Amino acid sequence: MSIQNLPFFTRIETGERYTMELYLDHANQRLRIDDYRGNIKTVITRSLAIAQEHGFTKVILKARQEDLPAILARGFVLEGLLSKYFNGNDAYCLALYFTDERRTSDDWMKEDQMIQAVMDLPRVMEKQPLPEGYSLRFAGVDDAHELASLYGAIFETYPTPMNDEGYIKKVMEEGTIFSVIQYEGSIVSAASAEVCERYHHAEMTDCATIPQQRKHGFMKVLISALEGELIRKNIYCSYSLARSLSMGMNAVFHQLGYEYGGRLTKNCNIWDKYEDMNIWAKDLSSASECFK
């Protein structure tokens, strides 16, 4: 896939009394309002018009607390909280749906049971050593081809085209940090931190390990290495969206000290279907320890 023909794009729209940053995501049939200022009622009206124009089935809005009454009055539902997302202030994750099918979760009760099981697990604060023969490092653009092959082999579908070498190079150039674990000269596990310099937060994402290497618990090592790099860059809000049916990834974030912030219904197309995603957030400024 050419990065010039990606099924999503970001645009800034400025109108009378408002400006907003939109993420038009045709691959996942959703419109995301990542930032806005000005008249919130106009922002909402214009956003809904754009979503319907493109045939999207979900609108996502990351809102500030003072705008909640106006947004809820237009039919949005509060799905979760991203702690300290806006330079230390919380972001409220709201959604509006255009179809019953997109609004209705297929596995909500099972996901409730899973998150309760995760919460019963002990936190893991000690450093986790790598097995002999494995090494940890940060990736560069020269690793883009191998990373694309890794993601392409693991995910049948994914919200972003991580199987595209050009796309990986693009996000690296935009500031995304990748940590990888190598074994016998090959990358066997990877994760990334998508950094927002404007609001000083980062999303932990793109977590993948080849099946035969999953017994080692590499994600704790990779994510903690990324946390250390974020702290070095004075970025203290770290968050992630984990598949709500994935016991392993939700356990990783809980054990590393992330706090559960809610669940996003049918948020994105991953593993060949729309899945609910759990919100996890961590204040790195008060984290007791990070892997180096």
Q: Enumerate the domain spans of the chain.
A: 3-103, 108-286
Domain 108-286 has CATH 3.40.630.30: yes
How do residues 230-253 score in pLDDT, each as one tens digit?
A: 999 999 999 999 999 999 999 999
d(CA 248, CA 250): 6
Cross-strand pairs, 269: 274
Indicate whether 144 pLDDT > 50: yes
d(CA 95, CA 79): 7
Please, are residues 244 and 115 in contact by the beta-carbon 8 Å criterion?
A: yes
Indicate whether 159 pLDDT > 90: no
d(CA 74, CA 44): 8
Q: What is the pLDDT of residue 4?
A: 39
Homologous superfamily assigned to 3-103:
Gcn5-related N-acetyltransferase (GNAT) (3.40.630.30)
Indicate whether 292 pLDDT > 50: no
| Mean pLDDT along residues 185-213 | 97
How do residues 50-98 score in pLDDT, each as one tens digit?
A: 999 999 999 999 999 999 999 999 999 999 999 999 999 999 999 999 9
Q: What is the pLDDT of residue 207?
A: 96
Structure confidence at residue 7 as a pLDDT band (50, 70, 90)? low
| Mean pLDDT along residues 155-176 | 93
Burial class (CB in 10 A: 0-12, 13-18, 19+), 155: middle
Indicate whether 288 pLDDT > 70: no
Examine domains 3-103 and 108-286 and report if their fold is the same: yes
Q: What is the pLDDT of residue 124?
A: 80
The residue behind tokens 């990783």 is 252
Least confident of 4-13, 67-76, 211-220: 4-13
How do residues 127-139 score in pLDDT, each as one tens digit?
A: 788 999 999 999 9
Indicate whether 2 pLDDT > 60: no
| Mean pLDDT along residues 117-122 | 96
pLDDT, averaged across the chain: 93
Indicate whether 5 pLDDT > 70: no
| Mean pLDDT along residues 102-112 | 96
Higher pLDDT, 156 or 261: 261
Residue positions counted in the chain? 292
Higher pLDDT, 2 or 99: 99
